[in-house]
Every structure is written in C-alpha cells, then in structure tokens.
Amino acid sequence: MLWKILSTFGTEIILGKKVSVLYGLTIGLPFVIVILTALLWEIAQIPIIYYIYGKACHKISFLNRFKNNMKKRTHKNKIFISLRKHGIWGIALLALYPFPGGGVLSSVILANILHMDKKRVYFIIITFTVLSLLFLGWLSLLILKDVVPPLLSIMR
C-alpha cells in the first residue's frame, strides 16, 4: 500500500492533480487517500510559489525575468483580465478550475499580482482546491466505472 501512496504522490508532483487522481484510483487506492495525497502537495505548493514569486525573484535574475514575462502575459491574457476584475472570486475560480491553466500556480500568481492578503488567499485557494480535487475524483470514478472496467480487471 505504501508504494501506491508514494507513486501517487510522485505522479502528483511530476504530472499534477489531473493525472494523479485518476492514477491513484486506477491502482486501487481508496478515494480519501487519493484526495489527501494530492491535497498534501497542492497545499505545499502555495508557500513555495509565494516565496519564489515574491522574494526569490528579486535575488535571482532569471526568476525575475520569468516574473516580468508572467506579468506581461497575464496583462494580455483574456482569462486573467476577466478574473482580475473579480478579485478574490477570480482567484477562487482559478483554484477550482482543475484543467490546464487553473490550479494553485495560477491562483497564487494572480493573488500576487493583485496584492491580496495572504491569509485570505490561503483559505480561498485551499478550499477551492479541495472542491477541485473532489470534482476530479468524482469524474475519475465515473470514467473508471463506466469506461474502463474490463481493463481494470486485467490490470488487477
């Protein structure tokens, strides 16, 4: 069982929550363990991204260039423009969106650009990331239940 949890965690780190949730459920981990494993990494990313984007960028030149490029791209990106208008709810929607372009990284970057209160941002991102993971888990269960049962019986 430990190897399943560690491989799901590794998949979460390398490929993200979209793949790790489906992978964890496919190899037979319980739903709650899969969600908690993914949530552990998602929560750990918030202070890491805040540190890199906020403080390390001033000390490391290539990170500073990355930050400036991100600011330029977000000012032109239609999604960021519309979500910026909604403030904290825009950050919540980005955290809730479980597909490419959404998630913790985009939410923290938008919060940093908007100079939002960190405590409030942490709470919103964690809450909506949990909802996103539950949605992904439910969607993965539907896929595994209705589409792949013969394949699962062969794998196990």
pTM above 0.85, yes or no: no
Residues 6 or more apart from 25 whose CB is under 8 A from it? 31, 34, 137, 140, 141, 144
pLDDT tens sequence across 98-125: 766 677 887 887 787 777 888 888 899 8
Measure the CA–CA gap between 39 and 5, rounded to whole angstroms.
Answer: 13
Residue 90: CB atoms within 10 Å: 20
What is residue 127's predicted lDDT score, i.e. its pLDDT? 92
